Amino acid sequence: MSNEQNVNNKKSNKTVATTLRKFDTKVQYLKYKVLREVARHTYDDTLTQSFNDIAKTIVKDKATMRCCIYKERAIVSQRIEMASGGHKEKDNIVEVLDIACDECPIGGYEVTQACRGCLAHRCEDVCKRGAITFDENQKAHIDKSKCVECGMCAKVCPYNAISNTQRPCVKACKVKAISMDENNAAVVDESKCINCGACVYQCPWGALSDKSYIIEVVNLLKNYAGDTKTRLYAVVAPSISGQFSYADITLGQVVTGIKQLGFHSVVEAALGADMVAYNEAKELAEKGFLTSSCCPAFVDFVEKNFPELKDNISHNLSPMAEISKYIKENDPGAKVVFIGPCTAKKAEIRKDNIKPYVDSALTFEELQALFDAKGIELTELGESELNNASYYGRIFARCGGLAEAVQEALKEQGNEDFELHAVSCDGIEECRTALLKASKGIGNVNFIEGMACVGGCIGGAGCLTHGPKNKLEVDKYGKLAMEKTITDSIKNL
């Protein structure tokens, strides 16, 4: 190979690496490409006639993902439908793309080839149901009519020969909203689903997806960019801090990019978080027991599973809604678009009490698609400032931040003698445990910080990347805030 070719090869490898680094998985990348094309054609007013073209742009002349290009294109059309807002008659944000569902095996606990037919038979000994039998080679078998999937046999097998085959979507869904239909395709039970998006991120086939409001946002941008009467505001969640760092892009450049899309102003949702922390601390001191209300999936979870605790959910709006309300009170002509990591926010903004304040919502994935649809190259942009909130408002983005902020607000309000016994629930399973205890009056917890996603908002399904460094980024970003206390941040509002 000549030197020149070598250089070229290196170059193209680098391009691939940069494209992929934006996302954790290729599923996200595929979804992004569809969103980008849908946004692009909406800008050009060519969406309705371009459905087939988009499918052909994304699935060229060779199948790379499924059995044939026709299936791939059929799935892309379902993705286009989701990118275009999904089924309007369904309120749920998360939907199943039935063609994309690979109908994964659902065997549960099964003995694998690794079983050596040993003498000990610990599996048999530990099985309370007598479900384990042995064949003539002394190899174990599980009688599925007796097995209750307790998993004890798998734990004791010295060869790890018993595996648990579960669908990734079912495993991801901690509220048990996913089951199978008669064709073995996944079905979402909307009466249980909290739209947290865990299945969307976990399904290896991308067969579950959140519906997108990207068309709505493009139309807002087309109608009102540069308008002096109807101004567009982007409210961005603090979890944005670690999201666009894939090519050393700074947050300041992202803010410039959002403005170039046509937003009049970019405002931190974290300022709303400061307001919430301040009011929530007061409410807590008054009522004595409270759960947070910031995470829409958590609120939905409480309402669906612990209705008796509904009145204990803080009466504050979420940070997104608080700041949007404030913006609209000060600028009645404003239109607000929330940009965050969250799929459940898309359901929250359609609630009757939130609807007046927030016009639409995007995820970071969708924001990336919008940048690329418009050809905005973030690395080439100058930096804009983003500074409205305090350290405490910003750390809402990670688990534990909210409780820390409420503690700080209690202190600032001179309520130091109120003893805060907070539990910060990292993920919906911890939320369930804390709520269960609270509903039975066990323990002395007086504040439940509920975060449906593991890690907090930085673990949200709409994030471009998920990883431990995101928490560090949020803390670093928090420390950059000019206002050091919550009171300083909101006293002049």
Q: Cα separation of 300 and 420, whole Å?
A: 25
- Select from 3-11, 173-181, 274-282, 322-330 the region that touches other proteins (CB under 8 A): 322-330
In the complex, the smallest distance separating the C-beta of residue 322 from other proteins, rounded to whole angstroms, is: 14
Burial class (CB in 10 A: 0-12, 13-18, 19+), 6: exposed
Determine contact, residues 354/447, Cβ cutoff 8 Å: no
> In whole angstroms, how close is the CB of 487 to other proteins at the nearest point?
11
Picking from 373, 393, 64, 377, the residue whose alpha carbon sits closest to that of residue 212 is 373
Q: Measured between alpha carbons, how far is 382 from 257 in angstroms, rounded to an integer?
A: 9
Instruction: Please tell me the distance from the alpha carbon of residue 39 to that of residue 46, in angstroms, as a whole number.
Output: 10
Q: For residue 188, give both structure tokens.
A: 């979402």
311-337 as b/e, with b when 16 or more CB fall inside 10 Å? ebbbebbbbbbbbbbbbbeeeeebbbb
Judged by CB under 8 A, which of 219, 265, 413, 487 binds other proteins?
Answer: 265
Residue of 117, 204, 482, 484 interacting with other proteins (CB under 8 A): 482
327: contact with other proteins by CB under 8 A = yes
CB of 374 to other proteins, least distance (A): 21
Cα torsion 285, 238, 298, 344: sign: positive
493 in contact with other proteins (CB under 8 A): yes
Output the 3-class SS for 287-344: HCCEECCCCHHHHHHHHHHCHHHHHHECCCCCHHHHHHHHHHHHCCCCEEEEEECCCC
Quick check: 264 binds other proteins (CB under 8 A)?
yes
CB 204 within 8 A of CB 166: no
Q: Does 331 bind other proteins (CB under 8 A)?
A: yes
Of 119-158, binders to other proteins (CB under 8 A) are none
Q: Of 194-202, 259-267, 337-345, 348-356, which part binds other proteins (CB under 8 A)?
A: 259-267
Mark the segment that binds other proteins (CB under 8 A) among 83-91, 169-177, 261-269, 302-310: 261-269
With binding defined as CB under 8 A, does residue 492 bind other proteins?
yes
Q: Does 275 bind other proteins (CB under 8 A)?
A: no
DSSP of 249-263, one letter per residue?
Answer: --HHHHHHHHHHHT-
Of 40 and 264, nearer to other proteins (C-beta) is: 264
Cβ distance to other proteins smaller for residue 190 or 488: 488
Give the interface size with other proteins as a residue count (CB under 8 A).
Answer: 21
487 makes contact with other proteins (CB under 8 A): no
Alpha-carbon distance of 422 to 425, in angstroms, equals 9
267 binds other proteins (CB under 8 A): yes
Where in 369-388 is the site for other proteins (CB under 8 A)? 384-388
| 330 makes contact with other proteins (CB under 8 A) | yes
User: What is the DSSP secondary structure assignment for residue 208, as one 8-state letter?
Assistant: E
Tell me: does residue 315 bind other proteins (CB under 8 A). no
Binding site residues, other proteins, CB under 8 A: 233, 255, 264-268, 326-327, 330-331, 384-388, 482, 488, 491-493
